[in-house]
Amino acid sequence: MGTPDPIRINLKINNMLQVKEKKYDVRTLRPLNESYDYYHRLTEKDVAKVNNLVERIESSRSDIKPKVGDRLLYTSKRGQYSPIAFIEKNNAGELFVCIRPMIPFVVKEGHQIYYDVSGGPFTGMHESKLKYKGTVNNNFKTWGHSGACANGAVHFQAKVSMWEYTEQF
């Protein structure tokens, strides 16, 4: 038998690290997309797109700086609370936040990911005022293989950072 070759061991470890576990397959994505699957049939192309988005979203999170796509525990000056606020834009540290969002759309263009959320109201705050609270799974959607059409959105979840903000008087 002899001693194991350290070069072969390192190559094997590196190859194992390069194989990234995908979050979804057709079977695990179908329960989140029953209507979509009924009308358009969930495909491997849809799964690949979702897994690519999940990987991009999750790999870009931070516990130091809020990122677009993160969630926020928001409390207004009047004590109104929203545990689902969503950071839609960041303009040089000034955040644009939807307090009660619908499920955000995610679109990848080139190497960038963009989020589009409806709901409301929207408010602004500076990123330095937020406190990191951990991570949470957030719901997202993107257009499936049939494009923009009725029941054409594929729903999925990705882990994002959770922040806290309380408006000051």
Q: How confident is the model at residue 169, as a pLDDT? A: 75
Asked whether the predicted pLDDT for residue 60 surpasses 70, the reply is yes
Amino acid identity for residue 95 in this structure: L
SS3 39: helix
Each residue's pLDDT tens digit, 15-36:
444 445 789 999 999 999 999 9
Alpha-carbon distance of 9 to 40, in angstroms, equals 45
Per-residue pLDDT reduced to its tens digit, 97-148: 999 999 999 999 988 999 999 998 999 999 999 999 999 999 999 999 999 9
What's the burial of 121, exposed, middle or buried (CB within 10 Å: 0-12/13-18/19+)? exposed
pLDDT in tens, 47-59: 999 999 999 999 9
C-alpha 140/C-alpha 54 separation (Å) is 9
Across 85-108, average pLDDT = 95
Nearest to 22 by CA among 54, 70, 62: 54
Q: Is the pTM of this model over 0.75?
A: yes
Going by pLDDT thresholds of 50, 70 and 90, the confidence category of residue 39 is very high
Position 2 scores a pLDDT of 53
| Model confidence at 10: pLDDT above 60 | no
* pLDDT given at position 124: 94
